[in-house]
């Protein structure tokens, strides 16, 4: 969803104040590219090196980043709807519809993958739970959460619709998002072990625990538990950052988030090394609330660093490749898969050295950057965006209100 410029009654947010969101999304794209390229192309002895393990470790960040930023962008758009005096039901309906659209994109993506791999891909691939599916579901769940919270807050505090983002309701929205994220984290371990809903058909159960048709939860799938917790964490952060009280103090707020993130990482590490465990089965890397807490803390620190880079770093001086990729993250996600895992792969799979796979990764990044630039250029031409020269273009690019995509 690309929100238009702010209403005349709402202070406009300079592009530089929102570019950090696109920068983080672009970072997620690059980390995703390297994970997929090395996983698909490295072969022989290169698959048994610390290099690949390090690549896969970095590969644990893109999905949490995309989901976290989906929550942040959701809060930005929902806040704008509240300032338009939209009712809780209208906000819920609008955001849930967009979530349903993204979920439909996820199903369409799986269909495309199945047709391209016709002849050797099993039919069950059509029902695989991927990141687009869980982002769409996360948005629907966030819409329901926000709608319920606003309705209760409006009744309890007897406030008018349209000022729900100015006081106690912002606190209520952030707290409800944190509560849902915590509940998802705490419910994940039993839902993957003793509470597994095995009585459900596997295509439905797979959305709960990622079992697919393999009889056991798979760590490479993106089920509601625990992945939607990242979206709710981003939702809470977004409501705080974009509230009227902290809107003009984003740097200080994000710096506090970074400090809280560092404390969360230390606390998660302490809990992980503690002899006390809430669950009989402890899987730190896949289902543990401690690992989820650590990753959320890391996301909060990355958010502040990305804001600092976009506000005071090199991103203020000219074209930023990460911001560019972040503006078209859905497009580059969709396309790059075909040139890495699909039949149009740039290199033979499982047959490359680290050097040749790295060259292919560079080609993918450049190709996706060109594709992204062409996509935004076409969009700007459609809305009458004109430039005189490169310097003028970059000045306009920095000050225009951001056209954020939730995905």
- What does the pLDDT average to over 252-273? 94
Counting the structural domains of the chain, the total is 1
- Whether 264 maps to a domain, the answer reads no
Most confident of 148-157, 181-190, 376-385: 181-190
pLDDT at residue number 234:
97
- Whether 7 maps to a domain, the answer reads no
Q: Residue 55 pLDDT > 50, yes or no?
A: yes
Q: Residue 274 pLDDT > 70, yes or no?
A: yes
Task: Find all residues with CB under 8 Å of 318, minimum gap 6, and list them.
Answer: 394
Residue 8 binned pLDDT confidence (cut-offs 50, 70, 90): very low
H/E element, 153: helix 131-157
Report the percent of the chain where pLDDT is more than 70: 86
Here the tokens at position 171 are 């606190």
- Residue 266 has phi, psi (to 5 degrees) of -65, -40
Residues 338 and 367: beta-carbon distance below 8 Å: no
pLDDT in tens, 105-154: 999 999 988 887 777 778 888 999 999 999 999 999 999 999 999 888 77
Here the tokens at position 128 are 């695989």
- How far is the CA of 93 from the CAs of 21, 73, 117, 232, in angstroms? 24, 16, 36, 18
- Whether 277 maps to a domain, the answer reads no
pLDDT at residue number 407:
53
Residue 398 binned pLDDT confidence (cut-offs 50, 70, 90): very low
- Whether 297 maps to a domain, the answer reads no
Q: Residue 380 pLDDT > 80, yes or no?
A: no
Count of alpha carbons within 13 Å of 17, Cβ hemisphere only?
17
Higher pLDDT, 396 or 376: 376
Residues 221 and 210: beta-carbon distance below 8 Å: yes
Task: Find all residues with CB under 8 Å of 89, minimum gap 6, and list them.
Answer: 147
Here the tokens at position 51 are 């290099």
pLDDT in tens, 15-50: 457 889 999 999 999 999 999 999 999 998 999 999
- The chain-wide mean pLDDT, for the chain, equals 85
- Whether 96 maps to a domain, the answer reads yes
- Whether 165 maps to a domain, the answer reads yes
- What does the pLDDT average to over 172-187? 95
Distance CA 28, CA 131 (A): 13
pLDDT in tens, 62-89: 999 999 999 999 999 998 888 888 888 9
Distance CA 320, CA 336 (A): 20
- Whether 256 maps to a domain, the answer reads no
Residue 286 binned pLDDT confidence (cut-offs 50, 70, 90): confident
Distance CA 267, CA 261 (A): 10
Q: Residue 229 pLDDT > 90, yes or no?
A: yes
- Whether 263 maps to a domain, the answer reads no
Q: Residue 401 pLDDT > 90, yes or no?
A: no
Check residue 11 and report its DSSP letter.
Answer: P
pLDDT at residue number 101:
94
Residue 279 binned pLDDT confidence (cut-offs 50, 70, 90): confident
Residues 108 and 116: beta-carbon distance below 8 Å: no
Report the percent of the chain where pLDDT is more than 90: 61
Here the tokens at position 328 are 């078209």
Q: Residue 376: which domain range?
A: 15-248+318-399
Task: Find all residues with CB under 8 Å of 105, minimum gap 6, and list them.
Answer: 132, 136, 330, 407
Distance CA 173, CA 236 (A): 7
Three-class SS state of 155 = helix
Q: Residue 157 pLDDT > 60, yes or no?
A: no
């Amino acid at each position: 969803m690309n929100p238009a410029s702010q209403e005349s009654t709402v202070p406009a947010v300079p592009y530089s104040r929102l570019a950090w969101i696109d920068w983080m999304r672009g970072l997620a794209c690059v980390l995703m590219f390297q994970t997929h390229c090395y996983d698909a192309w490295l072969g022989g002895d290169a698959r048994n090196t610390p290099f690949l393990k390090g690549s896969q470790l970095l590969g644990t960040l893109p999905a949490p980043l995309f989901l976290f930023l989906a929550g942040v962008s959701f809060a930005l758009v929902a806040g704008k709807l509240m300032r338009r005096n939209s009712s809780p039901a209208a906000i819920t309906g609008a955001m849930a519809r967009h979530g349903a659209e993204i979920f439909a994109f996820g199903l369409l993506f799986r269909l495309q993958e199945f047709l391209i791999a016709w002849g050797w891909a099993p039919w069950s691939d059509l029902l695989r739970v991927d990141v687009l599916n869980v982002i769409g579901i996360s948005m629907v769940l966030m819409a329901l959460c926000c709608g319920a919270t606003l309705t209760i807050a409006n009744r309890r505090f007897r406030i008018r619709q349209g000022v729900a983002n100015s006081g106690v309701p912002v606190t209520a929205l952030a707290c409800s998002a944190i509560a849902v994220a915590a509940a998802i984290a705490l419910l994940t371990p039993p839902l993957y072990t003793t509470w597994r809903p095995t009585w459900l058909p596997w295509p439905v159960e797979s959305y709960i625990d990622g079992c697919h048709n393999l009889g056991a939860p798979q760590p490479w799938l993106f089920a509601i538990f625990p992945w939607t917790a990242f979206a709710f964490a981003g939702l809470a952060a977004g409501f705080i950052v974009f509230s009227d009280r902290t809107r003009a103090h984003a740097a200080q707020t994000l710096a506090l988030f970074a400090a809280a993130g560092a404390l969360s990482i230390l606390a998660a590490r302490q809990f992980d090394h503690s002899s006390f465990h809430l669950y009989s089965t402890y899987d730190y890397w896949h289902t543990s609330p401690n690992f989820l807490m650590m990753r959320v803390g890391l996301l909060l620190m990355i958010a502040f660093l990305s804001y600092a880079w976009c506000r005071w770093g090199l991103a203020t001086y000219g074209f930023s490749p990460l911001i560019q990729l972040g503006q078209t993250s859905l497009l580059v996600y969709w396309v790059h898969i075909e040139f890495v895992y699909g039949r149009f792969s740039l290199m033979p799979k499982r047959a490359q050295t680290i050097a040749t796979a790295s060259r292919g990764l560079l080609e993918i990044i450049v190709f996706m950057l060109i594709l992204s630039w062409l996509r935004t250029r076409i969009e700007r031409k459609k809305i009458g965006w004109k430039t005189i020269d490169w310097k003028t273009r970059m000045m306009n690019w920095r000050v225009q209100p951001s056209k954020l995509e939730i995905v």
